[in-house]
């Protein structure tokens, strides 16, 4: 018995609700709303204005090359087919808020953000979104969202790099002949009062925004599309890098120069200073490389740290040369001098010459070196009993001349080689004595050359990279 009245109450309330919604929709929109097609854009050329209220910057991910912002995106366009229907004049405002049900029946631009990675509409009790219809047929759609943009970053100049990220708001379906996007004239880009003068400071970056007022056109698909471009510029804070990396590395290099004033014989003190400084720079380089973003080439900071490491390494090599010179001066050169001072024992040469009246012949069938016979070396001559020396045959004379020429050539080569070695040894003696002896001046010269070379390198380094960074800022 109670089921029928309860069903009647539910049916009656549903009918009233449907009638109220339908009546409100008919009352708020024109009479021919049934002929309205939300899939057809208004007119042949539609002007769409974009405005952005940036609430804050959520973060910058260098590894993923992403920028995240919390903003309110506002899209404005005109649709002459929609006019608020208010015959009784009960509208107290210049606009009326369309309900979510009404929003589903209205055409909206097919907004496409080419660099968009993700967009999350903010939700508290409901989506932070609204659509207003003004009396002049202007519609304004506003959505609060967290927007993540993809930015192509280049870290070759790290930490002097400047990242420029263009963001294009356009249509993915309509070409430039059918739809045009532009920034709103009065307040295209707005910020909170505590935001700063068009820029926002992060722990590592200074982020600034700029809207391109000139019409932009991008090409994708099969046609050109109009675009409203937003430029996001990321300038890195260099002060922290100067204090954390550049200053300590410069101090390490300067400490290595102190080894030039340490007495070379104090090997542990000088070696510990240089090796400790070298290992500290290597550790700093490894830390920077692991914590900095990846790049296709050596980054600006890595070039600096590698150069500082090489300066300390060359100072260590200089000390090795000094130690080698000291060892040579104390041991090898002293031993060489002692060897040359020794006097060779006297040598007595005695020879006797006895010639018999008989003929003495030297055998010609041997090709060995001249042999000694009766105290004389055979010279390829024949001594007769009549005390006449007669030449042997012509062939043996030619062979003897060729042998003499070959011997002379080999002797000349030997002498030249000995002279070259002696010259090189004299130069090495002078160089090593100049470097490592007690009178050596290599440390004194290094104490001037190393700081001067590092100063020249520092000037060239900062001049080149700062000019390149400024050039990229102006692009």
Tens digit of each residue's pLDDT (9 = 90 or more) over 450-461: 999 999 999 999
Of 131, 143, 142, nearest to 101 by C-alpha is 131
Q: Kindly report the average pLDDT of the chain as a whole number.
A: 77
Nearest-angstrom CA–CA distance, 430 and 437: 10
Which of the residue ranges 13-17, 129-133, 311-315 would you say has the lowest mean pLDDT? 13-17
Which of the residue ranges 52-56, 184-188, 279-283, 415-419 would you say has the lowest mean pLDDT? 415-419
Q: Which residues of 86-114 are buried (b: 16+ CB within 10 A; e: fewer)?
A: eeeeeeeeebbebeeebbeebbebebbbb
Q: Quote the pLDDT of residue 99.
A: 86
Torsion sign over Cα 412, 418, 423, 424: positive
Beta-strand ranges (E) seen in 172-321 are: 179-183, 189-190, 199-201, 205-211, 216-220, 223-236
Q: Quote the pLDDT of residue 435.
A: 60
Q: What is the mean pLDDT of residues 331-341?
A: 61
Q: Quote the pLDDT of residue 332.
A: 62
Of 7, 90, 62, nearest to 234 by C-alpha is 62
Q: Is 398's pLDDT higher than 90?
A: no
Q: Is 342's pLDDT higher than 60?
A: no
Q: Is 2's pLDDT higher than 70?
A: no
Q: 181 with 46: CB under 8 angstroms? A: no
Cβ of 293: how many Cβ atoms within 10 Å? Answer: 15
Q: Quote the pLDDT of residue 368.
A: 42
Which of the residue ranges 52-66, 78-92, 110-124, 338-352 would you say has the lowest mean pLDDT? 338-352
- Spatial neighbors of 307 by CB under 8 A, at least 6 apart, are 457, 461
Residue 349 or 271, more confident: 271
- Write the DSSP symbol of residue 370: P
Q: For strands 223-236 and 205-211, give the pairing.
A: antiparallel
Q: Quote the pLDDT of residue 13.
A: 38
Q: Is 113's pLDDT higher than 90?
A: yes
Q: For strands 138-150 and 66-78, give the pairing.
A: antiparallel
Residue 159: cis peptide before it, omega within 30 degrees of 0:
yes
Find the largest Cα–Cα distance for the chain: 176
Which residues face 262 on adjacent strands? none
Residue 330 or 142, more confident: 142
Q: Is 278's pLDDT higher than 60?
A: yes
Q: What is the mean pLDDT of residues 418-434?
A: 66
Q: Quote the pLDDT of residue 123.
A: 87
Residue 418 or 332, more confident: 418
Q: Quote the pLDDT of residue 89.
A: 59
Q: Is 52's pLDDT higher than 50?
A: yes
Which residues face 142 on adjacent strands? 74, 130
Q: What is the mean pLDDT of residues 362-373?
A: 42
Nearest-angstrom CA–CA distance, 303 and 157: 10
pLDDT tens profile 152-177? 999 999 999 999 999 999 998 999 99
Q: What is the mean pLDDT of residues 268-287?
A: 94
């Amino acid at each position: 018995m109670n089921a029928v009245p309860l069903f009647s109450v539910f049916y009656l309330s549903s009918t009233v609700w449907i009638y109220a919604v339908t009546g409100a929709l008919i009352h708020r929109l024109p009479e021919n709303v049934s002929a309205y097609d939300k899939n057809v854009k208004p007119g042949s050329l539609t002007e769409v204005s974009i405005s952005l209220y940036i609430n804050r910057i959520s973060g910058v991910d260098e590894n993923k090359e992403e920028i995240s912002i919390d903003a309110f995106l506002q899209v404005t366009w005109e649709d002459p087919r929609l006019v608020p229907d208010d015959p009784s004049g009960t509208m107290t405002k210049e606009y009326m808020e369309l309900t979510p049900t009404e929003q589903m029946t209205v055409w909206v631009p097919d907004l496409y953000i080419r660099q968009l990675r993700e967009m999350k509409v903010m939700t508290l009790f409901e989506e932070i979104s609204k659509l207003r219809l003004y009396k002049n047929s202007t519609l304004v759609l506003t959505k609060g969202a967290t927007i993540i943009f993809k930015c192509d970053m280049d870290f070759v100049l790290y930490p002097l790099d400047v990242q420029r990220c263009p963001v294009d708001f356009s249509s993915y379906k309509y070409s430039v002949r059918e739809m045009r996007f532009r920034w709103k004239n009065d307040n295209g880009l707005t910020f909170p009062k505590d935001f700063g003068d068009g820029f926002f400071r992060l722990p590592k970056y200074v982020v600034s925004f700029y809207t391109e007022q000139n019409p932009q056109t991008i090409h994708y698909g099969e046609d050109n599309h109009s675009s409203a471009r937003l430029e996001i510029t990321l300038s890195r804070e260099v002060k922290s890098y100067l204090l954390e990396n550049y200053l300590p590395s410069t101090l390490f290099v300067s400490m290595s120069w102190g080894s030039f004033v340490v007495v070379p014989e104090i090997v542990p003190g000088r070696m510990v200073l240089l090796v400790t400084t070298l290992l500290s720079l290597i550790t700093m380089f490894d830390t920077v490389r692991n914590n900095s973003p990846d790049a296709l080439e050596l980054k600006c900071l890595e070039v600096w740290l590698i150069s500082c490491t090489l300066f300390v390494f060359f100072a260590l090599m200089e000390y090795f040369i000094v130690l080698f010179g000291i060892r040579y001066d104390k041991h090898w050169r002293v031993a060489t001098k002692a060897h040359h001072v020794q006097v060779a024992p006297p040598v007595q040469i005695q020879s006797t010459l006895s010639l018999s009246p008989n003929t003495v012949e030297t055998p010609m069938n041997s090709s060995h070196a001249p042999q000694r016979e009766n105290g004389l070396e055979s010279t390829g001559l024949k001594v007769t009993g009549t005390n006449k020396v007669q030449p042997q045959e012509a062939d043996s004379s030619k062979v003897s001349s060729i042998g003499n020429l070959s011997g002379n050539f080999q002797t000349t080569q030997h002498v030249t080689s000995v002279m070259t070695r002696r010259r090189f040894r004299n130069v090495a003696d002078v160089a090593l004595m100049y470097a490592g002896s007690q009178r050596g001046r290599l440390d004194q010269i290094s104490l001037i050359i190393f700081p001067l070379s590092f100063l020249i390198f520092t000037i060239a380094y900062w001049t080149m990279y700062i000019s390149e960074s400024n050039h990229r800022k102006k692009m």
